Amino acid sequence: MEQYLIYNTLSYPILTVLVCVPLFGAIITLAIRGDRNLKIWGMLVTLVTAVLSLPLYTSFDLTTAKYQFAEFSDWIPFVNIDYVLGVDGISVLLVLLTTLVMPLCILCSWTYIKDRFKEFICVLLLMEASMIGVFISLNTVLFFIFWEAMLVPMYLLIAVWGGPRKDYASIKFFLYTLIGSIFLFVAIIALYVTTGTFFIPELMTHHYSFSYQMWIFWAFTLAFAIKVPMWPLHTWLPAAHVEAPTAGSVILASILLKMGGYGFLRFCLPMAPGATVYCMPYLIALSIISIVFGGYLALGQSDVKRLIAYSSVGHMGFVTLGIFLLNDAGIKGAILQMINHGITTGALFICVGIIYERTHSREISDNSALGMMMPIYVSFLVVFSLSSLAFPGTNSFVGEFLVLMASFSKYKIVGGFAVIGAILAAAYMLRLVQKMVWADSDGHVHHGEKSHLIDLNFRETATLAFLTIFVFWIGFHPAPFLKVMDASTTHLLQQLESGMNVLPAGHGDPHAILNGVGESIKHLLALK
Amino acid sequence: MLYLPELTLLFMALVFFFVSLGNLKESRLRSLGLLLSAIAVIASVYSYGLNGSLFFDAYRVDAFSQIFKVIITFGLFIVIYLGEGLYGIDDTLRPEYYLFLTISAFGLVSMSSAVELITIIICLEISSFALFIIIPFRKKGAYREQMEAGIKYALFGVAASGITLYGMSYIFGMTHTTYLADLMKIIPGVILKKPLMLIGLVMLLSGFFYKLALFPMHFWAPDVYEGAANETSSFVATLPKVAAVALLIRLITLAGAEVGQFTWVMMIFAVLSMTFGNLSALVQTDLKRLLAYSSIAHAGYLMIGLLCASELGYLSGIYYIAGYLFMNLACFFVIYHLAPQGENISFDGLTGLYKRSPLMALTLAVSAFGMAGIPPTIGFTGKLFIFTAAIKKDMYALVILAVINTGIAIFYYLKMVRAAYTSVDEQLSPLNLRVSTSVLGIFFIVIIILLGIFPQGFIDFAKEAVAAVL
């Protein structure tokens, strides 16, 4: 164990605490009465969790790729299942993202949720516990338990507090994700039977035959591609986003989608390196389609929430693209892009929720020309929109830049297509901002009609301001975040390198096509 | 001492026999039943760890039989506990209801100890006959399906017993013994050479497939569940299956752990059972019918564990059936309390349940998600063990078919949860639950989750039990 883990040296078992505080918080919620008390309790629990999670960043050892803050104990010894937790450079930022976003989810539901507050807080806290659990489990069974357990609270979140088509959306979400993960389950058991362990770092060290790798690779990929979601498995996402309450959308966009990307990095790449290299061109192609397709569909939406949902498909396409470029810049860019997407898209969903509370509509046309009435609101909206289209100086720029750089350095043609996605993002986001802020207003909009459009109050301002800090922090000084990933990314690439020897002959053909297309286009251009 | 749990149940039956001559109030009857079944539970826990045999070695008491006795008597206790008020049973037949319930439980408890073919068939019949009588006890309302259900259960049961006996005649004819211990030495060597032995063994198992509602002996399940009173169904749906698992483990061990034709036959039954059960359950509207089809599917999953014929396979089988007992009883508990007139409940009856009684809705959700195999419940852990056992035997195709089935099944379980959690505009009367009822609901939730997260304690017991058979 010691070769993989650095045991926790903090004064408290930080990772267990991060799961248990929200979990027990959720149980205690059932005994609390009064909406106000419940809100305060929910806020308190999430804030405590957030504060307790900070040592993950401050005490993180940047020099090692081992799993840190680890905890280990026996759990079900007769099939060798242990309770083992730990974080490395890939997961630590995602854990922090989760703990920091959750208080905002409570804040943005302060007045949005009208009924069944007790159950709402309980479900949110259960969500938090299971989401953190997914990122910190180092045992495949434990991972799977959290991965699946998360579905139930998320389902309830959409089904009970959702919009008019909540029934359809929640069932679709649940079935899609569950059916994706049943093969993950088989893969986990198959890996156990082959190696005799459920311990993730040890599973990474085994070498499997190529055909075996292909099987587990696709079993994993199906589950993660649905979660990301990757075209053509993305159709649950817009439905779920549109119907979910604000907090649900924020959780979905900021954290749930990241689990797919995290899964690729944690399972597919290190455990099936040969299959990953072999299948890389196909996954890159799917990512490119996601980017362009998501952007193109976003362009045609009139519902703000739906627009942002489709933009998520495009942005997550950048994440999977970065992952499957299989080089340093690509993977780092992908991880950073996951964090960025969590911040930016989460913030945009909060913005949509705020305006929905005021106008009870999510149509762009009903929410146009807000600039006069709500100056603070539109300032935030513009900042996050710019961040979403990767404007230089904002967080997404860094992530997208790294991914684009990686793709141009590897396959020019891929980079060329990915740029289309970036342009589309600019087109739909700027169109959204133009309509919502200015539209046809000549500065003389009838104020009387829209008197209900009060600007942000302190709570809403604080929620968005907190996220704005990160937009510019990562935008101008991403080094602290990139440094965290350094050791783990390098380690991941070494694992990939060592796994390539199982590739069958002729595996390079699809790669050659990618290169070949790029070359021939270059020739075409040169001829002219 | 060896025979203590059985004696307690016999005593209980005797008490109810005398009570049935008098005219006792329902609440008194229930308290009496609770008290006596609690004593039976204590007796079987107390006799855990004893070893010995009775009746010329035809009846063996060991760790294996005792763990099943504990599960069965505990199940009986819960069935009596949840049937508070006996809403569905004809007023004049209540003492008899308890009487035959007890006799059936006695038969099941004895079945887990029986290690000789004739003893097995006698125990099987005792438990079945009591149930044949009990099913038509339903209150005469607007429906008379209970008669149909009773006849169907009896006819199928008798036919199944007939097939079992016929199979036994083959086996006896070829081996000249009826003792399982002797058969175990002979059969593994013969089964690969003589097809008749295989046929005999499969026919022998049919009686237990019938109890377990496994394809192809499953046809009775939907009609009987639907026709019997809610509290009777809760018994029929759970306890006989526990005993059937005990016997199946004993009998499958006979064939030896060799993967041969015998395993293939079981595999086909398992796959058809899962697929047929799940696909039929998708279109049901009556909850009890739905549970019947789901139980056919669960019999299939369970069979995967058993046909592995390995220690892990048997362990997972015992664990799964115990989990199934709790999850299914939890569902029936909700159905029972939603129908104060003893009527059948359809999806419409669940609407707005979370407003009427949050606890009931949560119990239903936990048990439905449990049966669907969503972690962290007992259903998930059970499937994990079963699939692990199967993959250890390289039965990948079987496991993949099983997980696809799990994927199908999630839809109808989700339908139950969805019905319970959909909001309705009209005002619904809240369900007023007694404290004792709420306690049972909380018990179900806690045990389904806790036993799912911490299976090790139960597994240790089951391991000891399996060691006694292998």
pLDDT digits (tens, 9 = 90+) for B142-165: 667 788 888 889 999 999 999 999
Per-residue pLDDT tens for A90-124? 888 899 999 998 998 888 888 777 777 888 888 88
Chain B: residue whose CA lies nearest to A81: B456
Q: Does A30 touch chain B (CB under 8 A)?
A: no
Tell me the pLDDT tens digit for each residue of B75-118: 999 999 988 878 888 888 888 889 999 999 999 999 988 888 89
pLDDT in tens, A122-150: 888 999 999 999 999 999 999 999 998 88
**What is the distance between the alpha carbons of residues B220 and B209, in angstroms, rounded to a whole number?**
12
Question: Distance between CA A393 and CA A307 in Å, rounded?
Answer: 23
- Does the N-terminal peptide bond of residue B95 adopt cis geometry, omega within 30 degrees of 0? no
Residue A76: list chain B partners with CB under 8 A.
455-456, 459
**How high is the pLDDT of residue A528?**
46
Q: Residue B40 and residue A489: Cα distance in Å, rounded?
A: 61
Structure tokens at A4: 């993989």
B432 three-state secondary structure: coil
Distance set, CA B32 to CA A418, B15, B115, B264 (Å): 75, 9, 32, 48
Q: Quote the longest CA-to-CA distance of chain B.
A: 70
Q: Which two tokens stand for residue A152?
A: 């139930």
Q: Domain coordinates of chain A in residue numbers?
A: 5-504
Lowest average pLDDT, out of A349-358, B182-191, B295-304, goes to B182-191
In chain B, the residue whose alpha carbon lies closest to the alpha carbon of A184 is: B403
Indicate whether A507 pLDDT > 70. no
Q: Is A77 on the interface with B (CB under 8 A)?
A: yes
Which of B120, B101, B196 lies closest to B164 in space, CA to CA? B120
B37 burial (CB, 10 Å; 0-12 / 13-18 / 19+) is: buried
Between A113-122, A507-516, B275-284, B357-366, the lowest mean confidence (pLDDT) is in A507-516
Who among A141, A156, A193 is closest to B421 (CB)?
A156
What is the gyration radius of the CA atoms in chain A, in angstroms?
A: 23
For residue A182, which residues of chain B lie inside 8 Å, CB to CB?
A: 403-404, 406-407
Instruction: Report the distance separating Cα B393 and Cα B316, nearest Å.
Output: 14
Euclidean distance between CA atoms B236 and B217, whole angstroms: 15
A190 interface with B at CB cutoff 8 Å: yes
pLDDT for residue B447:
92
Answer whether residue B122 shows pLDDT above 70. Answer: yes
**CA angle, residues A368, A105, A483, in degrees to nearest 5:** 100
Nearest CA to A356 out of A233, A249, A279 is that of A249
B348 burial (CB, 10 Å; 0-12 / 13-18 / 19+) is: exposed
- For residue B374, the chain A residues in CB contact (below 8 A) are 148-149, 151-152, 178
C-alpha–C-alpha distance, residues B365 and B362, integer Å: 5
Instruction: Quote the tokens at residue A184.
Output: 């993950």
Residue A67: φ, ψ to 5°: -85, 125
CB-based contact B369 A193, cutoff 8 Å: no
Kindly report the length of chain A: 528
b/e per residue A388-402 (b: at least 16 CB within 10 A): bbbbeebbbbbbbbb
Size (chain B), residues? 470
The pair of three-digit structure tokens given for residue B162, joined into one six-digit string:
């007939």
Taking CA–CA distances from B460, the nearest residue in chain A reads: A78
pLDDT of residue A521: 61
Question: What is the pLDDT averaged over residues A268-296?
Answer: 87
- CB nearest A77 (choices: B315, B411, B456): B456
Strand runs (DSSP E) across A413-506, as ranges? none
Distance from the Cα of B441 to chain A's closest Cα (Å) equals 16
Asked if A148's CB is within 8 angstroms of B375's CB, the reply is yes
Tokens found for residue A512: 């050659």
Higher pLDDT, A127 or B423: A127
pLDDT on residue B178: 86
First to last CA, chain B: 25
Place of tokens 């933009």: A311
CB pairs under 8 A between A and B: 80
What is the biggest distance separating any 2 CA atoms in chain A, rounded to whole angstroms? 75
- With b for 16 or more beta-carbon neighbours within 10 A and e for fewer, the A432-467 pattern comes to bbebbbbeeeeeebeeeeeeebeebeeebeebbebb
Closest chain A residue by Cα to residue B392: A193
Q: Closest Cα to residue A381, out of A398, A373, A299?
A: A373
Is the CB of A423 inside 8 Å of chain B's CB atoms? no
Residues near B352 by Cβ (< 8 Å), separated by ≥ 6?
Answer: B422, B423, B424, B428
Alpha-carbon distances of B215 from A421, B211, B321, rounded to whole Å: 54, 11, 17
Residue A74, pLDDT above cutoff 90: no
Shortest CA gap B130–chain A (Å): 40
The verdict on a CB contact (< 8 Å) between B312 and A79 is yes
Say if the Cβ atoms of B380 and A174 lie within 8 Å. no
pLDDT category of residue A505 using cuts at 50, 70 and 90: low
Token representation of residue B195: 């097809």
CB contact under 8 A, A144 and B375: yes
Phi, psi of A99 (to 5 degrees): -65, -30
Per-residue confidence band for A508, with pLDDT thresholds at 50, 70 and 90: low
Cβ-Cβ contacts under 8 Å, A19 against chain B: none
Q: Which of A247, A251, A225 is nearest to A236 (CA)?
A: A225
pLDDT for the residue B29: 85
Closest approach of A427 to chain B, Cα-based (Å): 40
Contact B316, B382 (CB under 8 A): yes
Q: Which residue of B has its CA nearest to A79?
A: B385
Q: Which residue of B has its CA nearest to A171?
A: B414
pLDDT value at residue B185: 82
Helix axes B94-111, B4-21, angle to 10 degrees: 160
The Cα B50–Cα B2 span in angstroms is 7
> Following CA atoms A507, A508, A511, A512 in sequence, which dihedral angle do they give, to the nearest 10 degrees?
-140
Is there a cis peptide before residue B216, judged by omega within 30 degrees of 0? Answer: yes
Using an 8 Å CB-CB cutoff, list chain A residues near B396.
186, 190
CA distance A188 to chain B (A): 9
The number of CA neighbours under 13 Å toward the Cβ of B401 is: 19
Range of the domain at B137: 4-469
pLDDT (tens digit per residue) in A393-404 = 888 888 888 998
Q: Tell me the range of A64-68, A157-161, A509-513, B286-290 where mean pLDDT is highest.
A: B286-290
A220 and A184 in contact (C-beta within 8 Å)?
yes
Question: SS3 of B121, please?
Answer: helix
Listed in sequence order, the residues at least 6 apart from A97 whose beta carbon sits closer than 8 Å to its beta carbon are A254, A255, A258, A339, A342, A343
Fill in the DSSP letter of residue A502. Answer: G
**Pick from A318, A303, A475: nearest CA to A384:** A475
Bin A113: left if φ > 0, else alpha if -120 < ψ < 50, else beta.
beta
Q: Got the DSSP string for B270-313?
A: HHHHHHHHHHHHHT--BHHHHHHHHHHHHHHHHHHHHHT-SHHH
Top residue of A160, A193, A243 to mutate, by most chain B CBs within 10 Å, is A193
User: If pLDDT is split at 50, 70 and 90, which confidence band does A458 have?
Assistant: confident
Let me know: does A262 contact A94? Beta carbons within 8 Å: yes
**Contact call for residues A17 and A25 (beta carbons, < 8 A):** no
pLDDT at A322 over 80: yes
- Cβ-defined contact of B391 to A190 (cutoff 8 Å): yes
The answer to whether the Cβ–Cβ distance between B407 and A76 falls below 8 Å is: no
pLDDT at B229 over 70: yes
A122 CB within 8 Å of a chain B CB? no
Chain A's closest residue to B459, CA to CA, is A78
Strands B59-61 and B52-54: antiparallel
Chain B CB contacts of A151 under 8 Å are 374
Cα(A90)–Cα(A65) distance, integer angstroms? 9
Tell me how many domains chain B contains: 1
Chain B positions in Cβ-Cβ contact with residue A190 (cut-off 8 Å) = 391, 396
Tell me, what's the pLDDT at B242? 92
User: Which of A451-455, A466-470, B182-186, B376-380 shows the lowest mean pLDDT across its residues?
Assistant: A451-455
The C-alpha angle B145, B151, B154, rounded to 5 degrees, equals 135
pLDDT score of A475: 87
CA–CA distance, B378 with A376 (Å, rounded to integer): 51
Query: pLDDT at position B456, please?
Result: 87
Q: Which residues of B touch A (CB under 8 A)?
A: 312, 315, 354, 358, 365, 369, 374-376, 380, 384-385, 387-388, 391-392, 396, 399-400, 403-404, 406-407, 410-411, 414, 418, 421-423, 455-456, 459-460, 463
Q: Do B374 and A159 touch (CB under 8 A)?
A: no
Which of A130, A177, A186 to mutate to test binding with chain B, by most B CBs within 10 Å of its CB?
Answer: A186
DSSP-assigned letter for residue B91: G
pLDDT at B323: 92
Q: What mean pLDDT is predicted for residues A218-231?
A: 88
pTM for this entry = 0.89
DSSP-derived pairing of the beta strands A5-7 and A67-76: parallel
As a whole number of angstroms, the distance between CA A489 and CA A304 comes to 36
Report the percent of chain B where pLDDT is more than 90: 27
At B163, the amino acid letter reads I
The distance of A275 to chain B (nearest Cα, Å) reads 20
pLDDT of A448 higher than 70: no
pLDDT digits (tens, 9 = 90+) for B321-376: 999 999 999 999 999 888 888 788 888 888 888 888 888 888 999 999 999 888 88
Q: Which amino acid is at B166?
A: Y
When CB atoms are compared, the residue of B380, B399, B456 closest to A186 is B399
Structure tokens of B154?
């009896």
Q: Are B87 and B232 in contact (CB under 8 A)?
A: no
For residue A74, give the H/E element and its range: strand A67-76
